[in-house]
Amino acid sequence: MCSAFSAQESGSARQALKLLYKAGDLARTRDDSEVGESHVREARDLIEKGKVQDELESLPTQSQLTLFSLLQLEAEGKTPCKRSDIYERYQLVANLIDTDIVSDRTIHDRISQLRLKGFIKHDERNDGIHGGSYYLYSLDIRQEIVENALQQSNARVSDLFDA
């Protein structure tokens, strides 16, 4: 199962061994005599959360605020959404923690960065001659992983969860 998960994601034998090692730790902690499917699945989730946490800690505050804005829209069922929707929410969020509001273009760059890192996905839409072409954005990872990582990564951003 470890090798199957790793083959789907990266094809890396090291990743499969890392997953097996983590699953073994979970089994050992619980005094289980065998490593089972539940251990592997839980280990996979823990490793994924760790990767997200590490990536988020390295992001600038403006990128974290952009991701938080999309997280809120997703939680409200307002995704997929346009960049302008994310920017409007971003402005509200930035005001809540009294930080500088950057331009729409900068947020566009942050969205592109988050998309390249695998946090956000986009779908291109084309409404013909009169509607034009545009992207609709949504989260590409589970909401609870993003939420937990954002709550732990930056004190200013984590304050937003209490607001």
Q: How far apart are CA 97 and CA 65, in angstroms?
A: 10
Please indicate, yes or no, whether residues 131 and 70 belong to a single structural domain of this protein.
yes
Please indicate, yes or no, whether residues 67 and 147 belong to a single structural domain of this protein.
yes
Please indicate, yes or no, whether residues 84 and 45 belong to a single structural domain of this protein.
no
Average pLDDT of the residues in 55-70: 90
Please indicate, yes or no, whether residues 52 and 64 belong to a single structural domain of this protein.
no
Please indicate, yes or no, whether residues 115 and 150 belong to a single structural domain of this protein.
yes
Range of the domain at 29: 2-57
Please indicate, yes or no, whether residues 95 and 145 belong to a single structural domain of this protein.
yes
Please indicate, yes or no, whether residues 79 and 119 belong to a single structural domain of this protein.
yes
Q: Which of 57, 74, 98 is the last residue of a domain?
A: 57
pLDDT at 100: 92
Domain count, the chain: 2
Please indicate, yes or no, whether residues 64 and 16 belong to a single structural domain of this protein.
no
Q: How far apart are CA 152 and CA 24, in angstroms?
A: 26
Taking only the tens place, the pLDDT of each residue in 115-152 is 998 899 999 998 888 878 899 999 998 888 888 888 88
Average pLDDT of the residues in 74-97: 96
Taking only the tens place, the pLDDT of each residue in 96-119 is 999 999 999 999 999 999 999 889
Please indicate, yes or no, whether residues 153 and 141 belong to a single structural domain of this protein.
yes
Taking only the tens place, the pLDDT of each residue in 7-59 is 887 778 888 899 999 999 999 999 999 999 999 999 988 888 788 778 887 88
Please indicate, yes or no, whether residues 68 and 145 belong to a single structural domain of this protein.
yes
CATH number reported for the structural domain that contains residue 129 in this entry: 1.10.10.10
pLDDT at 118: 87
The Cα-based distances of 43 to 15, 51, 139, 151 in angstroms read 12, 12, 22, 21
pTM (2 d.p.): 0.76
**Strand-pair partners of 81:** 137
122 contacts 115 by C-beta, under 8 angstroms: yes
163 — pLDDT class (breaks 50, 70, 90): low
Q: How far apart are CA 13 and CA 79, in angstroms?
A: 36
Q: Which of 57, 73, 103 is the last residue of a domain?
A: 57
Q: Which of 34, 57, 80 is the last residue of a domain?
A: 57
Tokens 């090798």 belong to residue? 3
How many degrees, rounded to 5, is the angle at CA 116 between CA 97 and CA 75? 50
Please indicate, yes or no, whether residues 53 and 104 belong to a single structural domain of this protein.
no
Please indicate, yes or no, whether residues 88 and 156 belong to a single structural domain of this protein.
yes
